Amino acid sequence: MTAENPLADPVAEGNRIVEAAVERDLTVKKIGGTAIHDRSETVQVEPFKREYRDVDFVGHRAEESEVEDFMVEMGYEANERFNTMRPSRLEFVDPENERKADFILDKFRFSHEWSLKNRLDTDHDTVPIEDLLLSKLQIAEISDRDMRDIIALLNDHDVEHGGTGGTIDADYVADLCRSDWGLYKTLSINLGKVWEYLHENDLPVAEAAIEDRLATLESAIESVPKTLRWKLRSLIGERKQWYRKPELS
């Protein structure tokens, strides 16, 4: 079968891949910058607007071989060495546009990790909004760009307990922190940094609403009952590094 040609615009290319995957009965959802672009109007305007380099997706490990064949059909070349060494990741190269397409399979694993295996049954082309937010909040060495993505998402989406659809589910975020002290620690630090960034920069956002949403998230992760595993790890605290370095992800 003749390979199709990837599109130059990464946002349009992400849509092309997801739509083609649906036609082939593959489960593929967007994550990363182009996914946030789809789920946030704020990120599409200045000073939040930015260019996107690569395209990122989530799929199922059980469909790994089908995804590899599919991406070659869509005009990509597989990074064989990377794909052999990373059990929950796939990387493909678009030589024409000098761009990568990364796949996360079942498990999000960067500074911190959690399962996405049961998070892909959604009407949206992206992973759920709280997973998009977490993908930024979990970054231990967070950047200015990540901070703005977080604020844009919080500007456009309310935070609720048991939130569904277009709202961010605070209970889901808190439940992930219940047994993972490291994730709890990084989220606590980064939520504080978002507060500071919001107050130190004159941004065209609903500041009071974002403050309320940050408070709801902070309250949820603090008040959720913690497991014995969490409590034992908390005794070690910052004496042991609690997050992965990017090169180890």
In CATH, what is the architecture of 1-127? 2-Layer Sandwich (3.30)
Q: How far apart (Å, rounded) are the C-alpha atoms in residues 46 and 43?
A: 8
Region class of 95: left (phi > 0), else alpha (psi between -120 and 50), else beta: alpha
Alpha-carbon torsion angle 198, 199, 201, 206, nearest 10: 60
Closest C-alpha among 33, 43, 30 to residue 155: 43
Identify which of 142, 58, 163 has the alpha carbon closest to the alpha carbon of residue 105.
58
Is-contact 99 78, C-beta < 8 A? no
Residue 88 has a pLDDT of 87
Cβ partners under 8 Å of residue 241, min gap 6: none
b/e for 100-128, b at 16 or more Cβ within 10 A?
bbbbbbbebbbbbbbebeebbeeebbbbb
Asked if residues 70 and 23 have their Cβ atoms less than 8 Å apart, the reply is no
Give the Å distances, CA to CA, from 160 to 166, 219, 222: 10, 11, 15
β-pair type (168-169, 107-109): unpaired
What pLDDT score was predicted for residue 111?
A: 97
- Minimal CA–CA distance to 26: which of 73, 58, 71, 63? 63
Per-residue pLDDT tens listing for the chain (249 residues): 456 899 999 999 999 999 999 999 999 999 999 999 999 999 999 999 999 999 999 999 999 999 999 999 999 999 999 998 888 899 999 999 999 999 999 999 999 999 999 999 987 899 999 999 999 999 999 999 999 999 999 999 999 998 777 899 999 999 999 999 999 999 999 999 999 999 999 999 999 999 999 999 999 999 999 999 999 999 999 999 999 987 544
Bridge-partner residues for 63, per DSSP? Answer: none
Please state the domain extents for the chain.
1-127, 129-249
